Chain A
């Protein structure tokens, strides 16, 4: 099946620094990628949707200047958490989809971010 990778798998950073997380579709071209956030023992919360070559669409309540998303190619999307604070600590998961809305979203393994 389709494979989506994320890098890094875990990261620890100091408060005030920025962290970049990469999401790659390894064996298919992803016209649309999604970024989710998951708090412990909770379901996934969609943060934003990005289409290749376009600006990301953010969900209500998600700060676009804090969570910068770039989808520069059909196989790569990046999420940059700028000026990270401890409350940004979470599990971030990306997913990728080929084209149509009914197409399956394939999820990456997630990135555990801890901000000290």
Chain B
């Protein structure tokens, strides 16, 4: 079965400093992985998607994630945080057996001025 684990429920950074949101996955085959962002009282917006092409995936708003099979990780990074990045971030994997998305528990990113 597929699963994802988001290692931090909360991450706080200062504006202008790097962001690292950690996600580990478990999959018996090559996974399809996503990062979504959710701002308060909003739906989810796709940041980026990995589907066995390039291991370094670039997304919107300066975010990127690197697929590391040896570490079963798909961490989300951004070189310099903006206040507008404050939101909830979800790491997601597709369960091919059920055709459903499996969500991590989410990481709340706070950005301080």
A positions within 8 Å CB-CB of B = 1, 4, 6, 34, 42-44, 46, 49, 91, 93, 95, 101-102, 104-110, 112
Contact B34–A93 (Cβ < 8 Å): no
Interface contact B94-A101, CB-CB below 8 Å: yes
Question: What is B's interface to A at a CB cutoff of 8 Å?
Answer: 32, 34, 36, 41-46, 49, 51, 90, 94, 96, 99-101, 103-106
Compute the total of residue contacts between A and B using a CB distance below 8 Å.
45
CB distance from A29 to the nearest CB of B (A): 18
Residues of chain B with a CB closer than 8 A to A43's CB? 90, 103-106
Some 5 contacts from A to B, beta carbons below 8 A apart, are A43-B90, A44-B90, A93-B43, A93-B44, A101-B99
Residue of A whose beta carbon sits closest to that of B45: A107
Q: Which residues in A have their C-beta under 8 angstroms from that of B96?
A: 101
